[in-house]
Structure 1
Amino acid sequence: MILSLVGVGIVGAGLIGIVRQAAKDTTHPPVVPTRYTPKPTTESTGQPTEEPTSTATESPTSEPKVNDATVVSKNAIYKVGQMRTANCREPKVRPTNARNAAAYWAAIKPCLDRSWGPLVTKAGYKFQPPSMSYWSGSSTTTPCGSGVVNVPFYCSSNNNLYMKVDVFVKSYTQYSDAESKAYARMWYTRSVAHEYGHSVQNMTGILQASDNLRYELSDYNDRQRQTRRMELQANCFAGVFLAMNKKSYPISGELLYVWNKWVVTAGDKPEDGDHGSVASQQRFMGQSFKTGNPASCNTFAVSPRYVS
């Protein structure tokens, strides 16, 4: 999430309640508004070549700016085809303490870079992999804002993933059974892939355009729905990455079991929240986990009933 966040949970009787409460506790500080959509690096893709908006008078030869609705719903990232596997493997380290939690995520980050780089480039955009930092505690300060934050988040202002190590450690160590530990690993693997998905949105202009559209809406429910489209897409992008690396990781056995039982089935009540209902999570992230294709993730072109 964009200084908006994924919840933490544990397997067992309290898992669903914890996940739902985490969703309620999250905040959505404003992304620094901008009308800039990144300029594609090539002209051969036939994709928009818009320049940053300027207050100065544009020359007669300047390219017309593509409107925000087109950027989010007809983006070239939906046409790049299936992601290639990066043959990622689950890190051997276990998140028993803050250092190990950071090491776990640090080992996954290069896989995300290798997986998304070719697709972003193929879409005609400049690939600028995000940086990643680790923190713990009850609050933090970033270029995107400051205050109480309970889970990992992404900040577009400095293109950085802020991965909260203490929630990962707590989730992994709180219960000793194998299912709980597998759940923590699978949830937080999805978590870093989700935050990376926001960076992909940022690189392709979707994040900025979506935020622009949200600010133009006056109705609260419409604004929430626009946020859900953005968050559901980030989860869907996570599903793309996991789909194409599930054999090498491997996401099988206990990890696949908890993915199907707990991760894909976590969500808000329909029309109540900004991250999407269980049905919407399954429609997008569940589908992309099968296809491995960003084409499954166009949450901005579907009927409102599909982003509940």
Structure 2
Amino acid sequence: MPPAPPAPLQGPSPYPQWQPPRRRSNAGAVIGGLFGAIAVAFVGLIVVGAVIRGGHRSDPISPVALPTFTPYEARTSEPADPTPTETDSPEPTTGSTGAADTSGDSQTSENTTDTTDAQPRRVLNTSLKNNTLYRAGGLPRVSCPAGSANLYDNAQLKSVIMKTSRCLDKGWSQILRQQGIEWRRPGYALTSTRGRGACGDFPSAGSIVPYYCPRNETIYASTSAMVRGSGRSLGYGQLTNWHGGIVSMMAHEYGHHVQQLSGLSNTWWQQSLRSSSRSGRLALSRRFELQATCFGAMFMRSVSATYPVTPARRNTLYYFYSRVGDWAGAPRDHGSPANNNRWFRQGYEKNKTFQCNTWLAPASTTS
């Protein structure tokens, strides 16, 4: 992920630009000026209202990069993989689950490995649009009191991440297994500085983002980079000093693990390989990443009673996700800040896996 620039958030307006008519008389100019003043005043009221509701400073903030999924197939070299901090995940199957179905109807994969409950084998739909995962419903309420932690204390932050990772396990394992999707706990490799994982350096030079690597189903992260920033990239600690922001980002990474287990990852990757244009691949990447954000939000909702995520903290998360995503001049692979906010709110407020089906959503919501 390229570093976030220090310049204020910029980019094209999502609304159609209004083109004023040519002037024909002084009266027309006066009327045009009057409407222009009203429009400016209206926009100003919206901005002021947003600032008051969010309770945050009004100066613009550059968007901060989101965590990412790094397909190891794209790497030409295979770096040595450090021993994860905590893992009980076997090596995943590296082959494709089959050709992606662009209509989202026909791609399937048999789950034959989970025999612990002696249940009949199920045929899983691993397509993007009609995946078996979408039948899983919402995450159950999970007791997950996180306590307090200083973001700038690496040991405390790491402790919170690992503690909440068990809460992620409780919720996701339950609903995945109910649908016949084999569940495995992901590995975690956390460091206070930086390191080198199975899919490359973490974080990459000048970046802050952790990544999920499907090769060994491990989440890699640098606690100091995430909080303090790196190079020209802002840190998450510059958006909020509450650890819920970073935990929600780790829940985004766990969302990539859910995509891996359900077959969404392989299907997305195979479809990306077949895409004939860079813009097409970026569009697929945005839908993939925004879906992980939606899954992460589902988790934050599931633990809201005990974590706790109070209404004020929920608004902090909404603000947080309005400030993360792609920025002008960088690859459009994670979605705009507005759409990251949109999909986080979707997952938090709806808490249903099918509500996170970005593959059926309009392009305007995944830009």
- The TM-score, its normalising length taken from structure 1, stands at 0.77
Relative to structure 1, the CA distance from residue 163 to residue 86 in structure 2 (aligned partners, 3 Å threshold; closer, same or farther) is same
- Cα deviation, 1:134-167, whole Å, max 9, x if unaligned, reads 12435x3222234535221111101111121113
Choose 1 or 2 for highest CA Rg. Answer: 2
| Cα distance between partner residues in 2 of 1:121 and 1:165 | 31
Q: What are the superposed Cα offsets for residues 69-102 of structure 1, whole Å, 9 maximum, x if unpaired?
A: x621111111111210112122433333221221
Equivalent residue pairs, number: 274
Counterparts of 1:163 and 1:200, CA distance in 2: 18
Shift of 1:255: 1.9
Aligned 8 A contact 2:110 2:123 in 1: no
1:34 aligns to 2:89 (yes or no): no
Letter in 1 for 2:159: A
- CA–CA separation in structure 2 for the residues paired with 1:264 and 1:247: 23
Which AA in structure 2 matches 1:116?
A: W
**Change in CA separation of 1:263 and 1:47 when aligned onto 2, cut-off 3 Å:** same
Who is 2:199 aligned against? 144
Distance 1:178 1:277, change over 3 A: closer
Task: Give the 3 Å change call, closer, same or farther, for CA 256–306 of structure 1 in structure 2.
Answer: closer
The within-5 A match list for 1:252-263 is: 252=310, 254-263=312-321
CA distance in 1, matches of 2:209, 2:342: 24
CA contact (8 A) 2:208 2:226 kept: no
| 2:240 match | 180
Please give the alpha-carbon distance, in whole angstroms, between the structure 2 residues aligned to 1:267 and 1:151: 11
Q: Residues 42-63 of structure 1: CA distance to partner in whole angstroms, max 9, x if unpaired? A: 7758533xxxxxxxxxxxxxxx
Distance in 1 between residues matched to 2:213 and 2:172, nearest whole Å? 18
Equivalent in 149, 154, 157 of residue 93 of structure 1:
149
Contact 2:255 2:293 in 1 (8 A): yes
Is 1:247 aligned to residue 315 of structure 2?
A: no
- Structure 1 residues 201 and 29: CA distance shift in structure 2, 3 A: closer
Structure 1 equivalent of residue 183 of structure 2:
127
Contact 2:252–2:293 (CA under 8 A) maintained in structure 1 = yes
Contact 1:197 1:238 in 2 (8 A): yes
Residues 268-283 of structure 1 mapped to structure 2, 5 A cutoff: 268=326, 273-283=332-342
Q: What is the identity, as a one-letter code, of the residue corresponding to 1:292?
A: N
Of residues 18, 35, 47, the one that matches 2:123 is 47
- AA aligned to 2:141 is T
1:267 is aligned, of 313, 319, 325, to 325
Q: Distance in 2 between matches of 1:213 and 1:292?
A: 27
CA deviation vs aligned residue, 1:199-231 (integer Å, no higher than 9, x gap): 011111111110111111021111001011110
Instruction: Tell me by how many angstroms 1:120 deviates.
Output: 1.3
- Name the Cα RMSD after superposition: 3.4
Output the CA distance in 2 between the equivalents of 1:261 and 1:127.
Answer: 32
Contact in 2 for aligned 1:236/1:284 (Cα 8 Å): yes
240 and 125 in structure 1: CA distance in 2 versus 1, 3 angstrom threshold: same
> Residue 28 and residue 294 in structure 1: after superposition, are their counterparts in 2 closer, same or farther (change >3 A)?
closer
Deviation, structure 1 residue 253: 5.0
Residue aligned with 1:276, SS: coil
Q: Aligned AA for 1:125? A: I
Q: How has the CA–CA distance of structure 1 residues 107 and 232 changed in structure 2, closer, same or farther, with 3 Å as cutoff? A: same
Residue 110 of structure 1 corresponds to: 166
3-state SS, counterpart of residue 250 of structure 1: coil
| CA pair 160-72 structure 1, distance change in 2 beyond 3 A | same
Distance 2:282 2:139 in 1: 30
Q: Aligned pair in 2 of structure 1 residues 109, 178: CA closer, same or farther (>3 Å)? A: same
Once the two structures are superposed, residues 224-275 of structure 1 have per-residue CA deviations (whole angstroms, 9 ceiling, x without a partner) of: 0101111001101001111121122111154223112232453335996111
Residues 5 and 159 (structure 1), Cα distance of their counterparts in 2 relative to 1, 3 Å cut: farther
Match of 2:29? none
Structure 2 unmatched ranges of 5 or more: 7-55, 74-93, 99-108
Question: Is the Cα–Cα contact under 8 Å of residues 93 and 100 in structure 1 kept in the other structure?
Answer: yes
Q: How far 1:302 sits from its partner (Å)?
A: 2.5
1:184-223 aligned within 5 A: 185-223=243-281
Q: Extract unaligned runs of 5+ from structure 1.
A: 49-65
SS in structure 2 of the partner of residue 114 of structure 1: helix
* Structure 1 residues 128 and 39: CA distance shift in structure 2, 3 A: farther
Q: Please report the TM-score for the alignment, with normalisation by the length of structure 2.
A: 0.65
| Aligned-pair identity (%) | 23
Structure whose residues are more often helix by fraction: 1
**Selected match of 2:355 from 296, 299, 305:** 296
